[in-house]
Chains A and B, each alone.
Chain A
Amino acid sequence: MTATHLISEDAFASLLDRLIQDMPVMGPVERRDQPGFYRFDRLEKTADLQVAYTTTTIPPKKFFFPPVDEMFTFDQSGPLHIEEQAEGSPFVLVGVHPCDLAAIEALDAAYAFPPADMRWIRRRKQAVIIGMECRPDDYCFCTSLGTADARAPADLFLTPLDEGYLAEVHSPMGSVLLSDTAARQATKNDRKAAEQVLQRKIEAVTARLTTSVSQLADILEYGGLTAVWRETAERCYSCGSCNITCPTCFCFSIEDTLDADLSGGQRQRSWDACQLLDFARVAGGHNFRGDRWQRVRHRWHRKFLYLYRRFGRPYCTGCGRCSRACTADINIVDITNRLVAHFQQEHKP
């Protein structure tokens, strides 16, 4: 059984104070220009942490895989010289919701799949992760994907209770974090209270898939869904926002920039999106996913079929960011349920 402690808000605040002095601490903060909206950023002080944040536009994966990741610099003023860029230094990531924890675990699997992506792995090993129980919004559907109570890869997971936080220890690092604090052993009642918080959350998630993830994979594999893909594509802008805000999307492109002296520069990789028109275009001009509906289909296939079969989990955690970000009103739950309904309609007994 996981060790559990109860830590008061003050004790947690002083733990964070100490951590902030030692190393960068990243967490959800309120957007300065837009109160009520949040983003993951470096905490300057403990009070910056917004424990009760709803969601963020960009998931915390950006700390392990920055949107623009400088991989090496080069200098060709003399013989070509290349210098690999280090992946940064140890840091703490606090306030990660269960869906985003599940997403980090999913990306661990994808990036460690041989040949491993060492840039992701080295950054991941530098991070201490403190998870946090959440409050769902209209777009959440984690209960359909089994991620409502995800914990890995958190070192510590906190559930806000009346007298502080129930802190679950999920790694040796988790207990190191608590060792110097005024946390006490959690009682049966504390654990029960935390379970009730989880239960209330699960009940508050109203958006639901009408099928299981394994059946969904089978339905997508069976096919015959072109009508739904085309109908969805009629509205889709191919703007890539669903991909870029997704905590489990991990595609990127590699490009160079040249310094103004024209001899130095850098190579970087930046987040890319399979919904963009040119994603599968080759140099000769042929576009292997030139039709918008093919790209829409690819997104569902990749999330719920290909990666599901390869890694044994859907590459969707039900965080709802894609639906929220879609200015074409394409909701991942609605469309998935449309696919299921279409399939059932076609295969009536």
Chain B
Amino acid sequence: MKEPTGYEKLGYVPEIAHVLKAVPMTEQEIFLDLRLPGKTELGHAPGQFVQVSLMGIGEVPISICSSPTRGDTFQLCIREAGTVTHGLHRIARYAQLGIRGPFGKGFPLAELFGRDLVLVAGGLGIAPLRSLITYILDRREDFGRLIVIYGGKNPRTLLFKEDLADWDKRSDVELIVTVDRGDETWQGRTGVATEPLAELDLQAVNTRAVVIGPPVLYRFAAMALFEHGLTPETIFFSLERNFHCGIGKCGHCQLNDLYVCQDGPVFRLARLLDRIEAVEAWAPEEDQDR
């Protein structure tokens, strides 16, 4: 058989990263700042993910929430949802953990250059989006309008509050934060993220949209964006799946013929619309006869 070359690096043995910072963000999420040995840069693009491991417990995919423009560390925002993330929530500063990656295709930066951008995040979706937003802000003149819509369950679950405050102050970011249910301190918007999206005034021709969130967000965000004249060609979704290997082998992340870990996780909507398993995830109540 033919000997493949050049891919040896993408094996199953992780590199050992050091935890520089471990800060709880909310009841459910912790923020980690990590560095590889020898201050090697991770070399990621916004929208990619890494496999994070705690030896003896296991490995989980986590999207990178920092921008490659910000030095030799990289950052993760981790929600406690299982055994590995349970362990990661109890990790201490200076601890070591395993990192594989970065994996996947990130946001289509070349296509976003020079355009007006609408970035929509629901819940934890703000984590990968923060990587892109930071990247854009570090090269602000390369992009057009920057509209960020972020929807959370309630004020306590909002992530990256410092970043949100910074973005809110800037005149070159149009930030809209909304929560499903406010509390006595909340003075911002309430309601789902797709409502402010519908109210925007957009030049569809020169606009690209990115949506990341729970499955239910995709369908309604796409409908709102279509109303604005955006098309499946100008909308990008970043998808969540069960990733084990990260290199299109283990089969867990398969979405019809696509390997989300390798072909995605960021996809042009047009590429997803004829994939029945994508459509079923957004509209499970409709019995798709396939």
Contacts and interface: CB of A to CB of B under 8 A. Distances in A.
B15 to A, nearest CB: 9
Contacts of A255: 58
A288 B277 contact: yes
B59 interface: yes
Give the size range of A's interface with the partner.
35 or more
Interface of B: 1-4, 7-8, 10-14, 16, 53, 55-60, 79, 81-82, 85, 96, 98, 214-215, 240-242, 244-245, 247-252, 254-257, 276-277, 280-281, 287-290
A118 B11 contact: yes
A280 B252 contact: yes
Contacts of B11: 84, 118-119
B2 A112 contact: yes
B8 to A, nearest CB: 6
A256 B244 CA distance: 12
- The majority secondary structure among interface residues of chain B is loop
B247 to A, nearest CB: 5
A272 B250 contact: yes
Contacts of A111: 249
A252 interface: yes
Given A265-B55, A294-B280, A117 B247 contact: yes
A266 to B, nearest CB: 9
A254 interface: yes
A86 to B, nearest CB: 12
Contacts of B256: 301, 306
Nearest to A225: B290
Interface stretch (A46-54, A75-83, A93-101, A196-204): A75-83
Contacts of A113: 248
A253 B16 contact: no
A117 B244 CA distance: 13
A153 interface: yes
A68 interface: no
A251 interface: yes
Interface of A: 71-72, 74, 76, 79-80, 82, 84, 108, 110-119, 121, 124-125, 153, 223-226, 250-258, 262, 265, 267, 269, 272, 274, 279-286, 288-289, 294, 297-298, 301-302, 305-306, 309-310
Nearest to B103: A115
Contact of B96 (A79, A116, A288, A310): A79
B87 to A, nearest CB: 11
Nearest to A262: B56
Contact of B7 (A115, A224, A284): A115
B133 to A, nearest CB: 23
A279 B242 contact: yes
A282 B240 contact: yes
A255 B58 CA distance: 5
A72 B249 contact: no
B12 A254 contact: yes
Contacts of B251: 250-252, 272, 274, 279, 302
